[in-house]
DNA sequence: CCTTTCAACTTGTATTTACAAGTAAAACAA
DNA sequence: TTGTTTTACTTGTAAATACAAGTTGAAAGG
């Protein structure tokens, strides 16, 4: 055998079916081929097929109904990633504008929004930036992002106007978000937020402190987000 | 006729093992009995045991290593399920108290916190309850829960003082939380919240509107949570 | 004494067989 | 036509069996 690493059959079947869903061969609401059909197509037995389908269920690609079949649910949405939801109407990407308040610059760490830092992070310093996001020309988000200055050449000279921070990290540095932890609290706007959000005193603001885990082990992104939820609420699935 | 559907063997085994982990019979790092041992104990075959163990892996209770065994990972932190985190110190279960403001009662639906209801939900009415949760004898959470009154016999007469709502649903009605969606916003306390939280006017409060998906298709739980984050923040992973 | 080998575990993969239970449409009877 | 039954699917559960592959510690060898 030329192949050292044996990939299990159920995994192969899973990969095929999964890619067929993500690539649009099967659409939302479609009925997958029955287990027995899949058996003959892939030349394996039912338990093997079922193992592949079980995984697709767990990951949210399909739902199954006894007596009926396996129904395609679609591509699962990112869990825990909060997005905006309008109180009046849905918002597209068109009316979203990002204004860089503080361009990425190298600083010393102050503190990471109540998250403890390790020695390596403190020593390497951080890339600091502040952004204000406007929806329909109204400021809704203000966020501070701090990234350890570890193996990110020429990062501060990148252009962030069009691309999002995470797009840049993924494309140029192969850094991908895997998960993270967050703390949420409700505060009243301070002087700075009153100015940014153009609101009066006593205005309630949603604050998120996030520690974002990446595919680089030990490499975390720290982010503090303030959100004026008067017109738009934060939306997420879990 | 109340037809009691037979509970599968793999589910029984799962329940036993799961409760042994949550109740502290097995601790973090412990090795579970081997599959063959579990087979003889529960008088089932390996595929059945493995199905139960697979689920425990998926839910994060255990990890398994070929040739070694199944290692207890502990009680998983719910993804998207927000929990409390103290600004001063960690909080145990001891200093958590739940006070039922409005006992479960059957009502007509008013509205489901901005989530649209379908015809079946509206017709069946809802089980309504209000709870106030205290941490160290200080009120921190106030939540309103609305559950469609569909196939939940004797629900309103259950005792919720010790068991949590979701424990009751899982144990007596086989209803399990699968996921859901939520909207978060920051508001100022109204009269009622000022009274419950014992705070003055203008106090910021975190509000969550949640639509919780269950294993019963089309059966959703609607929940509105108000949180005084002055001393405790909401914590979640994603 | 240390190293290697091996035997006895563990979980992982896969097949085969059987029946239960839910669904939907065809076939049938009124 | 209308309502019921049957039938042919679907997925769900469960057993018995076999072998592969990783781990560990004890026995055998130097």
Please give the distance of CA A104 from its chain centroid, rounded to a whole number. Answer: 21
Q: Does the nearest atom of strand C lie within 7 Å of B64's Cβ?
A: yes
Kindly state whether residues A100 and A206 are assigned to the same domain: yes
**Which of B96, B86, B134, B132 lies closest to B234, judged by CA?**
B86
Q: Does A186 touch chain B (CB under 8 A)?
A: yes
Is residue B25 domain-shared with residue B118, that is, in the same domain?
no
- Inspect the interface and report whether the beta carbons of A186 and B183 lie closer than 8 Å: no
User: Per the domain annotation, does A77 fall within a domain?
Assistant: no
Position B217 scores a pLDDT of 78
- Provide DSSP, B185-204: EEEE--HHHHHHHT--TT-E
Point out the domain boundary residue: B49, B72, B95.
B72
Half-sphere exposure of B25 (CA within 13 A, CB side): 8
Whether residue A3 is contained in a domain is answered as no
- Measured between beta carbons, the chain B residues lying within 8 angstroms of A65 are 217
What ipTM does this complex have? 0.77
End-to-end CA distance of chain A: 44
d(CA B130, C1' D5) / Å: 49
Is A234 within 8 Å of B183 when comparing Cβ atoms? Answer: yes
A212 and A113 part of one domain? yes
Kindly state whether residue B3 falls inside one of the protein's structural domains: no
Angle between the N-to-C axes of helices B9-22 and B46-58, in degrees from 0 to 180, rounded to the nearest 10:
50
Give the pLDDT score at B33: 97
pLDDT at residue B1, as a whole number: 35
Tell me the residue range of the domain where A29 lies.
9-72
- When pLDDT is averaged across residues B123-145 and rounded to a whole number, the result is 91
Nearest to B184 among A54, A65, A234 (CB): A234
Of all helices (H) and strands (E), which one includes residue A194? helix A191-197
pLDDT the model gives residue B199: 97
User: Own/partner pairs for B68-75, CB < 8 Å, 24+ apart?
Assistant: B68/B31, B69/B31, B69/B32, B69/B34, B70/B31, B70/B32, B70/B34, B71/B29, B71/B30, B71/B31, B71/B32, B72/B21, B72/B26, B72/B27, B72/B28, B72/B29, B72/B30, B72/B31, B72/B32, B73/B28, B74/B21, B74/B28, B75/B21, B75/B22
Domain presence at residue B1: no
- Same domain for B140 and B116: yes
Regarding whether B170 and B108 lie in a shared domain, the answer is yes
In this predicted structure, what is the pLDDT of residue A84?
A: 63
Domain edge (last residue) among A48, A72, A96: A72
Under DSSP, is residue A161 helix (H, G, I), strand (E, B) or coil? Answer: coil
- pLDDT on residue B135: 86
Between CA A128 and CA A109 the distance in angstroms is 9
Each residue of B158-193: pLDDT tens digit? Answer: 877 656 788 888 878 888 887 888 899 999 999 999
Residue A145's pLDDT is: 93
Positions of chain A with pLDDT lower than 70, given as ranges: 1-5, 78-81, 83-95, 161-163
Kindly state whether residues A94 and A140 are assigned to the same domain: yes
Question: Does the CB of A188 have a partner CB in chain B at under 8 Å?
Answer: yes
Counting the structural domains of chain B, the total is: 2
Q: B 29-58 residues with CB below 8 A of A?
A: 47, 54, 58
- What pLDDT shows up at residue B88? 46
Residue of higher predicted confidence among A56 and B234: A56
pLDDT per position as a tens digit, B25-61: 999 999 999 999 999 999 999 999 999 999 999 998 9
Q: What is the CA radius of gyration of chain B?
A: 20
Tell me, yes or no, if B82 comes closer than 8 A to chain A by beta carbon. yes
Q: Which residue of B has its CA nearest to A188?
A: B204
Note the maximum CA span of chain B: 63
Q: What is the pLDDT of residue B152?
A: 86
User: Shortest CB distance from A186 goes to which of B78, B186, B237?
Assistant: B186
**Regarding predicted confidence, which is higher, B2 or B208?**
B208
Q: How far is the CA of B47 from the C1' of D15 (A)?
A: 9
pTM of the model: 0.82
Question: Is A96 within a domain?
Answer: yes
In terms of domains, do A196 and A131 share one? yes
pLDDT tens digits, one per residue of A168-202: 888 888 887 777 888 899 999 999 999 999 999 99
Domain stops at, among B72, B97, B124: B72
Q: Per the domain annotation, does A2 fall within a domain? A: no
* A27 and A87 inside one domain: no
Cβ contact (<8 Å) for A236 and B181?
A: yes
Q: Write the CATH number for A171.
A: 3.40.1410.10
Chain C, protein-covered positions (CB within 7 A): 9-18, 20-24
Q: Are residues A195 and A217 in the same domain?
A: yes
pLDDT of residue B58: 92
Of A58, A60, A183, which has the smallest distance from its Cβ to B233's Cβ?
A: A183
A1 assigned to some structural domain:
no
Q: Which helix (H) or strand (E) holds A131?
A: strand A126-135
pLDDT at A3: 38
**What pLDDT is stored for residue A86 in this prediction?**
57
Same domain for B95 and B48, yes or no, is no
- Looking at the fold, whether A106 and A51 belong to one and the same domain comes out as no
The CATH number covering residue A23 comes to 1.10.10.10
The rounded mean pLDDT for chain A is 87
Kindly state whether B218 is in contact with chain A, defined as any CB-CB distance less than 8 angstroms.
Answer: no
DSSP letters, chain B, are ----PPPPHHHHHHHHHHHHHHTTSS-TTPBPPPHHHHHHHHT--HHHHHHHHHHHHHTTSEEEETTTEEEE--SPPPBS--EEEESSS---STTEEEEEEEEEEEE----BTTB---HHHHHH-EEEEEEEEEETTEEEEEEEEEEE-SS-TTGGGS--SSS-HHHHHHHHH---EEEEEEEEEEEE--HHHHHHHT--TT-EEEEEEEEEEESSTT-EEEEEEEE-TTTEEEEEE-
Does residue B91 sit in the same domain as residue B209?
yes
Question: Can you give the pLDDT at residue B77?
Answer: 72
- The answer to whether residue B57 is domain-embedded is yes
């Amino acid at each position: 055998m030329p192949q050292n690493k044996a990939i299990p059959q159920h995994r192969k079947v899973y990969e095929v079916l999964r890619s067929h869903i993500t690539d649009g061969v099967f659409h939302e609401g479609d009925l997958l081929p029955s287990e027995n059909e899949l058996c003959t197509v892939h030349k394996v037995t039912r338990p093997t097929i079922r193992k592949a389908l079980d995984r697709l269920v767990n990951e949210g690609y399909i739902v199954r109904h006894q007596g009926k079949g396996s129904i395609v649910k679609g591509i699962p949405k990112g869990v825990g990633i909060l997005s905006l939801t309008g109180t009046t109407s849905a918002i597209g990407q068109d009316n979203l504008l990002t204004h860089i308040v503080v361009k990425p610059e190298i600083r010393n760490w102050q503190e990471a929004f109540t998250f403890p830092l390790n020695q390596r992070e403190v020593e390497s310093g951080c890339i600091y930036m502040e952004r204000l996001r406007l929806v329909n020309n109204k400021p809704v988000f203000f966020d501070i992002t701090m990234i350890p200055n570890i193996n990110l050449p020429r990062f501060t000279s990148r252009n962030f106007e069009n691309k999002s921070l995470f797009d840049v990290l993924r494309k140029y540095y192969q850094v991908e978000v895997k998960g993270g932890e967050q703390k949420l609290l409700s505060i009243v706007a301070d002087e700075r937020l009153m100015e940014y959000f153009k609101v009066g005193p006593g205005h309630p603001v949603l604050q998120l402190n996030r520690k974002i885990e990446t595919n680089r082990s030990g490499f975390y992104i720290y982010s503090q987000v303030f959100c004026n939820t008067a017109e738009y609420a934060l939306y997420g699935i879990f």
